[in-house]
Amino acid sequence: MVVDTSILLAIFFGETHAEWAVDRLEEYRGQTVMSTVNLAETLIILRDRQPARFAELENRVLSGGIRFAPPDAEQARNAAAARLRYPLNLGDCFAYALARAEGCGILTLDLDFRSVDVRVHLP
C-alpha cells in the first residue's frame, strides 16, 4: 500500500481522520511503501510547521515501518503522464506512479486521487 503524504501529516498535526490514518497504517503494517519524493514533501512540511519538533518527527517518520522507494525513470514517466491526466500535484504524481509500479493502492486523505486508475483508500 502506497502511503501518501496526507496520511502522515494528518497524524502528526492531529487533523481530521488522523485516527483513521493510524488504523490503516496498522492494518497494512509491513506492506506500506512511500516514494522518496513524498518523504521529502513530508519532511519539508514538518520542518516548516514544527521546527522545534522536527528531529523527533523526522525520526518517527523514518522509523515507523514504512519502506521508502526512490523513483526510477519509468515512475518519472508515469508521474509526468499523471500530471497531465489528473488533478494531482507533483508529490501526488509520484505516489500514483509508485502505486502503479508496485501494483497496489494508495492510502490517502487527498480527494484529488478519486479520479485515478489505481485503487484508492479514502475514509
Write down the pTM of the prediction: 0.95
Banded pLDDT at 113 (limits 50, 70, 90): very high
Strand partners, 107: 3, 121
CA distance 89 to 109: 14
Segment 63-79 shows an average pLDDT of 98
pLDDT in tens, 18-53: 999 999 999 999 999 999 999 999 999 999 999 999
Distance of CA 95 to the CA centre of its chain: 6
Integer CA distances (angstroms), 54 to 2, 18, 50, 64, in order:
23, 19, 6, 15
The domains of the chain, with CATH numbers, are 2-121 (3.40.50.1010)
